[in-house]
Amino acid sequence: MHKLKIAVLFGGCSPEYNVSLQSAYSIITHLNNDKYEPVLIGITPTGEWFRFTGDPVKIKDNTWCNSQDCVRAIISPSREVQGVLEFDNGKIREIKLDAAMPVLHGKNGEDGTIQGLLELAGIPIVGCRTLSSALCMDKDRAHKLAYAAGVRVPRSFIIDDKKNWETVCEQAENIGYPLFVKPVRAGSSIGITKVLNRNDLATAVKLAFAYDDRIIIEENINGFEVSCAILGNDELIVGELGEIELKNGFFDYTEKYTPKSWTFHVPARIPAPKAEEIKNTAVKIYKALDCSGFARVDMFLTPMGEIVFNEVNTIPGFTIHSQYPRLLQAAGMTFEQVIDTAVGLAVGA
């Protein structure tokens, strides 16, 4: 049987580099080897590209980048190549790809940069394409499009380094404390602060500016977060809802990846009619933001039963313990089936 060559891109110039390694390891070790031949492309935190041919456990352990297992490689922008150029001992080898799956969380991977290169090269993408990736990564534009589709979003405003500080403080007072300060384009709650009063606002803004040149200051929504996994292009598979129960604080980077004070309930403890409404809202957001392949839509449910959009993760965590596969598993899909279906959507299988 002819195997399709599927590139799995991992690592990347992102604060979420280590998260990417864990997701990529899980995907690689659960890919259907009877149908697909993985071509592993690692990107270091400094932006060097390599073809990796070693044991996938080295990706998980972050020991993958070594002279025994790696040769320099890049995605060629040429549609004639439609794949990878590998540089080894002065020779250039072309590897034609049938599809590529970016597993690059956050900046320089989830934001449309890699997707744009793949589209330019004519390589089918496993997951969202360039426009939807860029839109979903931009919290401000994603909220505006969701609002235009009829979904409630938190009140917010944008600041850059030219914004008058007194004006910022006045606008923050209008929104009311507590509030959230976030980089506009970052993932995994990196650079986000829950601000309880004006005295802490400047520190939170400084932290957010370390990750982006645009910042969003956003209303705190009373309620709890619900997640919805969606898989598909035209015909969509919608997973069970997940509910994040926090004992204190907010769902920051530390809590997401070293959980200490939260519980993930699948299915969410929500009455069936409201759960169906939330799923329909997630589908509306998925379509409004031009998503394809797969994505996780995160929303809030207020004590009054209102659904408020939070964000869309176009490359959600993809370990066997991550929210996205768990939500689809609760709907009857195995981890292997989730990956196989996602790849199949890209290659037309």
The radius of gyration of the chain's CA atoms, rounded to the nearest angstrom, is: 20
pTM for this prediction: 0.92
Residue 261's pLDDT is 55
Q: Residue 202 and residue 225: Cα distance in Å, rounded?
A: 27
Q: Using 50, 70 and 90 to split pLDDT, how confident is the model at 107? A: confident
Per-residue confidence (pLDDT) for residue 329, from 0 to 100: 96
Q: Residue 334: pLDDT band by 50, 70, 90 thresholds?
A: very high
Enumerate the CATH 3.30.470.20 domain ranges in the chain, comma separated.
136-151+222-347
Asked if residue 91 lies in contact with residue 175, where contact means CB atoms within 8 angstroms, the answer is no
Q: What pLDDT, in 10s, does the model give residues 306-316?
A: 999 999 999 99
Q: Which of 25, 28, 41, 35 is nearest to 5 (CA)?
A: 35
DSSP 244-276: EEESSS---HHHHHS-SSEEEESS-S--HHHHH
> What gap in Å lies between CA 208 and CA 186, rounded to an integer?
9
Distance CA 255, CA 265 (A): 15
156-219: CATH, from 3.30.70.260, 3.30.1490.20, 2.60.40.10, 3.60.15.10: 3.30.1490.20
CATH architecture group of domain 136-151+222-347: 2-Layer Sandwich (3.30)
Q: Mean pLDDT of all residues in the chain?
A: 93
Residue 238 predicted with pLDDT over 60: yes
What is the tens place of the pLDDT at every residue in 154-164? 999 999 877 78
